[in-house]
Chains A and B, each alone.
Chain A
Amino acid sequence: MGVGSFFTSKLDEALGWARKYSIFQYPFVTACCGMEYMATACSHYDIDRFGAGLPRFSPRQADVLFVVGTISHKMAPVLKRIYDQMTEPKWVVAFGVCTCTGGFYDNYATVQGIDTIIPVDIYIPGCPPRPESVIDGLMKLQDKIAGQAQRY
């Protein structure tokens, strides 16, 4: 390993460490899962302990898109637009089984998984997921953020 790659890998680590604890999320809350999202965000479970306490309600200022709840065909273009408006680097969390696969809404109105529209980094199953599994998913996302090659 040369000196240059040593530095970049160390710099990557440092950046990854910093990034994983400064998650600015955009909660795209549509449905029932939003209730569990609220519960996770509030004092009882406190997502702030993981450096993700600040929801930004502007896609321009957010780097993790939490898609919370069923996405219908009518909503799909809106979700796509929000995703496109976010700046790199960005990650997407599919929160709840409806966003993962459509869940038990196998019908004409529901998008069968948001990965048919936008790329997804972490899937959190559950209908809705308990706050514990949300936090678990968040920690997996943090590992992913810290472990990947950083762009700067």
Chain B
Amino acid sequence: MAETTRQEFMLGEGSGTGGGPQNIQLGVGPAHPAMHGIIRIVTELDGEVIVNADVEIGYLHRAFEKDCEQGGWNNAIPFTDRLNYVSPLINNFGYASAVEKLLGIDVTERCKYIRVIMSEISRISDHLTCVGASAMELGAFTVFLYMIKAREYLWELVEAVTGARLTISYGRVGGVKADLPEGFAERTLKAFKETREVLDEVHRLLTGNRIFMDRMVGVGALSREETIAYAITGPLLRAVGVGYDVRRAQPYYTYDRVEFEIPTQKDGDNYARYLVRMAEMEQSMRIVEQALAAIPDGPINVDFEGRPIDPAAYVDQGKQGKTEGLLLLPITLSPNLQGQQRADLNRVNMGDKRVVLPPKETAYGSIEGLMNHFMLIMEGYGIQPPPGEAYFPVEGANGELGFYVVSDGTDRPYRVRCRPPCLPPVAALPRMIAGEMVADLIPTFGSVNMIGGELDR
């Protein structure tokens, strides 16, 4: 007797997967608890087996690409936050780097390290959310609570640096908004220690768990050829054994100077994707630890004459004509609210007047600084990359996140295109779930890590 397939075993011999009239249509979503984010999957079922599926997206289309064309180059950064809102920092930096490529400029060394550190923290929080949510959908609610707890530790770090938890708008063309706060390294190491404990617990709860494995192993698999043909990148590609990672293939920032491994698996099923994500979190923490050890202080070209004064007093003194030595006085701005103090600003932003806002001391204290500030803020001036086009890929949490920007030489982007890393796996979802049970749809969809903001833009 021929070996029975899993489907025949479950349904009895001879159950066909033909398009017979007995097949029923089942719509899942767009308002379905497991469709975190919004998506509609119309499945055609033969009994409990999915014969065919059609995926409908676009429920969160918010006109990202059109919105970006409306304001200046830096004004697009808040919109990029809301693409992949679980790891917004990577989007910020990806977009900023694309514009920097267009401008032909390079950011400071310290800024590169900050971008590496913040990207990796984002990546960890993204993977935590993805693994936690997909475990929750399989009934492991505890894991979800643990993972969100760990994410909270990381978000506290993000908040200390950027001033916001989620929509951080921290990247800037030519630098970042603010320098790292004091004591950041110690706080990070402490948060990582706690995160590692959580990951350890989750490993013990899930990795060898019979129920979890039954739902994940061998489910939602995609062959290596098909994964590549569908342009899938990131953890899903590494789960089929292809070690492609933009951080290694085309190193940007300082990724060529840190040691890390690219975890791969062979099977390409949901379990392999889970293992890849779990291993990647550890690698990301390794990267951050190395970067924190190597981050340079950077040039601080300011000499301290007096004590810092508050911005209002600074402006008042200038109005009264007490300008002697005023430009040398640092002012007391909260670094993560404004980040424009001279010392911090020069450390993390490149010294290019065409791109980076002047420090507040200069803007308040000299006419050149004020003009410079105006020229960058006023409509019709601002950052003006030369006409041309550039594509810059970074490794997002879901795979290659590319920004294709076109400039017509004015202060507004002519076109901003985001290559969304989670669109290809969602497009391939019908292939992953065809021939599987309807219940397998949930873990497979969870492992894809669909993020609505990025998928629909």
Complex: A in contact with B (CB within 8 Å): yes
Query: Chain A interface (Cβ within 8 Å of chain B)?
Result: 28-32, 34-36, 38-39, 42-44, 55, 57, 69-70, 72, 74-75, 78, 82, 104-105, 107-110, 127-128, 130
Instruction: Show 11 A/B contacts (Cβ-Cβ < 8 Å), sorted by A.
Output: A30-B452, A31-B37, A31-B452, A32-B81, A32-B85, A39-B148, A42-B145, A43-B148, A44-B148, A57-B33, A109-B62
With A35-B86, A82-B31 as contacts: A128 and B149 at CB distance below 8 Å: no
Query: Chain B interface (Cβ within 8 Å of chain A)?
Result: 30-33, 36-38, 58-63, 66-67, 78, 81-82, 85-86, 129, 144-145, 148-149, 151-152, 155, 165-167, 452-453, 456
For the complex, give the distance between the alpha carbons of A42 and B33 in Å: 16
Contact B453 A32 (CB under 8 A): yes
Q: Mostly helix, strand, loop or mixed at chain A's interface?
A: loop
- Who on chain B is nearest to A30 by CB? B38
B150 to chain A, nearest CB (A): 10
Contact A70 B62 (CB under 8 A): yes
For the complex, give the distance between the alpha carbons of A74 and B149 in Å: 34
With A31-B453, A35-B85, A57-B33 as contacts: A42 and B149 at CB distance below 8 Å: yes
Contact A30 B60 (CB under 8 A): yes
Q: Which residues of B contact A35 (CB under 8 A)?
A: 85-86, 129, 166
Contact B78 A36 (CB under 8 A): no
Among B58, B82, B145, B155, residue most surrounded by chain A Cβ atoms (within 10 Å) = B82
Contact A32 B31 (CB under 8 A): no
For the complex, give the distance between the alpha carbons of A30 and B61 in Å: 11
Q: Which residues of B contact A28 (CB under 8 A)?
A: 31
Q: Which residues of A contact B59 (CB under 8 A)?
A: 30, 72, 74-75, 78
Q: Which residues of B contact A108 (CB under 8 A)?
A: 63, 66
B327 to chain A, nearest CB (A): 36
* Contact partner, B165, options A36, A42, A72, Cβ 8 Å: A36
* Contact partner, A105, options B33, B37, B67, Cβ 8 Å: B67
Contact B166 A36 (CB under 8 A): yes
Rank and list the top 8 A-B pairs by shortest CB-CB distance, nearest first: A32-B85, A57-B33, A42-B148, A107-B63, A44-B152, A75-B59, A109-B63, A109-B61
